[in-house]
């Protein structure tokens, strides 16, 4: 059997009809100028190795310098290039033109967020809600520096690691009809973030977070549409995190009927000693 040397990148797409250009329909919104966003059509060179973000960069460099959008790392880490691509929230740096042949490709600002300009969204709502979840290690008493770091076993790490992979790209909010419907809903990423700390063996703030998370605005308005987990580029599975928190909230609710348990000696005792 002979194996022909092939250009790895073009193996897949070369099977499809080749084309020189692909058309992009981009939602433009100029504040103070436009009543509402309108689609404008642009042709860009088609390259199988190009992602949607490459096409946008081409347009901004070569065709229209006023086109506005956010991006930074171009490698799925910074979480700033999220946009709707044909109606689905995507990181445009990981969304290849070759998967949308022959085109056109519709690019819009992420759904469920106000638009600042063109493809740039307003994140204020998320930023205001973020501290409510206390996304840091809450300690009753900080361990003195000379005692070293808080140690953790691989098993304890595995308990929350998945939830710590979030890059705040907002794709999950954009996919979530509950967030769209309810302005008070904390949303998928923040609830997963709460689980990330609640499941961290070094953290002691779970009770404080439960007051925020075990409410309607927290986990209970979620109806498990599940799209947040589908669109998540980092496999955080916020829908699973919320389901898990619902189970924990239900157990906590059942325990609230049990007679009061004497305070756990650990931690408290430490607090009294210092």
Look up residue 67 and give its two tokens: 């086109």
Six-digit token pair at 213?
A: 């998370």
Out of 116, 129, 138, 165, which residue is the one contacting other proteins (CB under 8 A)?
Answer: 116
- For position 182 contacting other proteins by CB under 8 A, the verdict is yes
Task: Write down the H helix ranges in 2-145.
Answer: 52-62, 124-129
If DSSP codes are grouped into helix, strand and coil, which group holds residue 89?
A: strand
Choose which of 102, 141, 253, 269 interacts with other proteins (CB under 8 A): 253
- In this structure, what are the phi and psi dihedrals at residue 27, rounded to the nearest 5 degrees? -75, 115
Rounded least distance, CB 220 to other proteins, Å: 4
Count of residues near other proteins by CB under 8 A: 50
Residues 27 to 56 in contact with other proteins, rule: CB under 8 A: 29, 31-32, 34, 36-37
Please identify which residue in 58, 159, 201, 208 interacts with other proteins, judged by CB under 8 A: 159
Q: Binding other proteins by CB under 8 A: which of 122, 127, 137, 141?
A: 122
Q: What beta strand segments (E) does 101-256 contain?
A: 105-108, 115-117, 120-121
- Could you say which of 45, 104, 135, 252 contacts other proteins (CB under 8 A)? 252
Q: How far apart are CA 31 and CA 109, in angstroms?
A: 14
To the nearest whole angstrom, how small is the minimum distance from the Cβ of residue 230 to other proteins? 7
* Distance separating alpha carbons of residues 122 and 115, to the nearest angstrom: 6
Q: Which of 68, 180, 201, 204 binds other proteins (CB under 8 A)?
A: 180
Count other Cβ atoms within 10 Å, centred on residue 21.
Answer: 12
Window 193-212: residues binding other proteins (CB under 8 A): 210-211
Q: Which is nearer to other proteins, 78 or 230 (CB)?
A: 230
- In the range 215-244, which residues lie near other proteins by CB under 8 A? 215-216, 220, 223-227, 230, 237, 239-240, 243-244
How many residues comprise the chain? 274
In the structure encoding, which two tokens stand for residue 147, read together? 């005692």
Q: How far is CA 241 from CA 24, 136, 172, 203, in A?
A: 36, 18, 13, 17
Smallest CA-to-CA distance from 213 within 191, 235, 232 is with 191
Q: Site residues (CB under 8 A) for other proteins?
A: 29, 31-32, 34, 36-37, 87-88, 111-116, 122, 154-155, 157-159, 177-178, 180-182, 210-211, 214-216, 220, 223-227, 230, 237, 239-240, 243-244, 246-247, 249-250, 252-254, 256
């Amino acid at each position: 059997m002979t194996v022909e040397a092939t250009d790895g990148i073009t193996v897949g797409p070369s099977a499809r009809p080749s084309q020189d250009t692909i058309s992009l329909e981009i939602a433009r919104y100029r504040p103070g100028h436009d009543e509402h966003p309108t689609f404008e059509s642009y042709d860009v060179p088609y390259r199988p190795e190009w992602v949607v973000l490459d096409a946008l960069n081409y347009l901004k460099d070569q065709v229209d310098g006023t086109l506005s959008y956010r991006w930074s790392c171009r490698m799925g880490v910074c979480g700033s290039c999220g946009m709707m691509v044909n109606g689905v929230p995507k990181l445009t740096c990981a969304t290849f033109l070759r998967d949308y042949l022959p085109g056109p490709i519709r690019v819009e600002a992420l759904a469920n967020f106000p638009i600042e300009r063109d493809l740039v969204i307003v994140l204020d709502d998320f930023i205001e809600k973020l501290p409510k979840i206390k996304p840091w290690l809450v300690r009753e008493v900080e361990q003195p520096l000379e005692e070293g770091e808080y140690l953790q076993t691989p098993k304890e790490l595995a308990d929350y690691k998945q939830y710590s992979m979030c890059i705040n790209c907002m794709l999950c909010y954009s996919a979530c009809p509950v967030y769209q419907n309810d302005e008070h809903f904390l949303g998928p990423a923040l609830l997963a973030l709460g689980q990330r700390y609640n499941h961290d063996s070094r953290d002691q703030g779970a009770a404080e977070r439960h007051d925020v998370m075990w409410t309607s605005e927290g986990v209970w308005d979620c109806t498990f549409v599940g799209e947040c987990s589908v669109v998540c580029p980092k496999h955080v599975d916020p829908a699973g995190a919320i389901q898990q928190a619902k189970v924990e909230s239900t157990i906590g609710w059942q325990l609230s009927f049990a007679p009061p348990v004497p305070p756990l000696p650990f931690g408290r005792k430490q607090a009294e000693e210092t």
